[in-house]
Amino acid sequence: MSFSGIPASITGVILAGGRGSRMGGKDKGLVLYRGKPLYQHVLQRLQPQVNAVYISANRNLMEYQQSGLPVITDSLPDFPGPLAGMLAALQTINSEWLLFTPCDVPELPEDLAAQLWQQKGEALAVWARTAERDHPATLLLHKSLVKSLTDFLQRGERKVMFFLKNSGGHSVLFNNAEAFMNINRPEDLSGGIQ
């Protein structure tokens, strides 16, 4: 069985575990955008592309659990960044491939999984890139990277791109930059991509 031309062994993970410091400390995934929480916009785009979706969160767990989706918390303390959410997901989810996306990208491409899968080659890590920049938190990771990611974080490293490049990963170019516009600050809710 496959979804969008990719194997059913891909599980989606919405990364909603950050501090939300640029959003005034609010949990970005739960901030209302066009009448519903941001993470629900992402879920709507991601769900048809994968066989299951999990949420990686460290606060407001009950609210995320009301979605009916499984919620994973970081296995490391003190909000060490998106890699900690990725590690917890790799440790928890029994799936060969995990497709990660931030909770604040409401216009996520509907062919994200298919494009990353079709252009990954032999790489164990591939991430989205637009003409303007890389989007390393929007990526496809193979479960076998769990040990190297554990070691990387235990050394105190936190940079997503550094880990991905060290893992032999590469980017996949997407031409629709607006699909990757994220909502980081309160003013982004009323302007920009509205």
Burial class (CB in 10 A: 0-12, 13-18, 19+), 73: middle
Q: Is the pLDDT of residue 191 over 60?
A: no
Containing H/E element for 100? strand 97-102
What is the C-alpha to C-alpha distance for residues 139 and 158, in angstroms, rounded to an integer?
Answer: 16
Domain 2-186 has CATH 3.40.220.10: no
Residue 173: what are its φ and ψ, rounded to 5°?
-80, 130
**Averaged pLDDT, 118-146:** 96
Domain assignments of the chain as residue spans, ordered by start: 2-186
DSSP secondary structure letter of residue 121: T
pLDDT of residue 1: 35
Place of tokens 């496959």: 2
Q: Is the dihedral of CA 113, 116, 117, 123 positive or negative?
A: negative
pLDDT tens, 36-78? Answer: 999 999 999 999 999 999 999 999 999 999 999 999 998 777 7
Q: Is the dihedral of CA 130, 131, 135, 139 positive or negative?
A: positive
pLDDT of residue 81: 83
What is the C-alpha to C-alpha distance for residues 138 and 12, in angstroms, rounded to an integer?
Answer: 11
Identify whether the C-beta of residue 84 lies closer than 8 Å to the C-beta of residue 58: no
Find, among 63, 117, 60, 52, the residue nearest to 89 by Cα: 52
pLDDT of residue 109: 96
pLDDT of residue 22: 55
pLDDT tens, 83-116? Answer: 999 999 999 999 999 999 999 999 999 999 999 9
Q: Is the pLDDT of residue 184 over 90?
A: no
Threshold 0.75, pTM exceeds: yes
Q: What rounded mean pLDDT belongs to the chain? A: 88
